[in-house]
Amino acid sequence: MVNFVVPGSHTRAEKDRLTCVNPGVNFPVSRQEAKLVAKGKQLNVEYVPSENGRYLAWEFMEELRNSKDGERHAATLDRLFQRLADFGVIENRQKFKKVQGAFWEFKKFQCRVLGFFGGRSGRRRFWLTNACKKKQGKIRPEEIKRAERIRDAWLSG
């Protein structure tokens, strides 16, 4: 569950306990839950929050869904998320491949959604960290670094 907090509407103690994804609010963000994207026989695919509390991969997918040209790409990526959840692997390297280290990317045209495998509570998971549009040959190194920061914050929390 994601709560949106209006500045000044809560006491400081309440603000410390609330989950906030509004980047304009300047108070601590408590530990957030992962957002379930796809649940399958093999694993769950989930969005995880960045260090500032925003779900970057989810925001990217919402922008795609709301754009005229991106709607098809979002639908394809959603099917790929469900396929990974159902089968635990996607054999097509044009759609899903290892990028660097522990990170994998879902691919559709120029759209890239990064994530990593892990597990909590005895269930295998694939956590989606961030996403971008790739305009050159390789994914930008700063996107990999962002994914690493999100992963480290998520696993340490």
Grade residue 25 by pLDDT with cuts at 50, 70 and 90. Answer: very low
Upper half-sphere CA count for residue 93 (Cβ side, 13 Å): 2
Contact 132, 112 (CB under 8 A): yes
Query: Considering the entire predicted model, what is its pTM?
Result: 0.78
Q: pLDDT, tens digit, for every residue of 128-150? A: 999 999 888 788 999 999 999 99
Instruction: Write the DSSP symbol of residue 124.
Output: E
Q: Which long-range contacts (CB under 8 A, 24 or more apart) does 122-127 make?
A: 123/43, 123/44, 124/42, 124/43, 124/44, 124/88, 125/34, 125/43, 125/44, 125/45, 125/46, 126/43, 126/44, 126/45, 126/46, 126/84, 126/85, 127/34, 127/46, 127/47, 127/48, 127/151, 127/154
H/E stretch holding 84: helix 70-87
- pLDDT higher than 70, residue 86: yes
Grade residue 6 by pLDDT with cuts at 50, 70 and 90. Answer: very low
The torsion region of residue 149 among left (phi > 0), alpha (psi -120 to 50) and beta comes to: alpha
Q: From CA 110, how far away is CA 146, in angstroms rounded?
A: 18
- pLDDT higher than 70, residue 127: yes
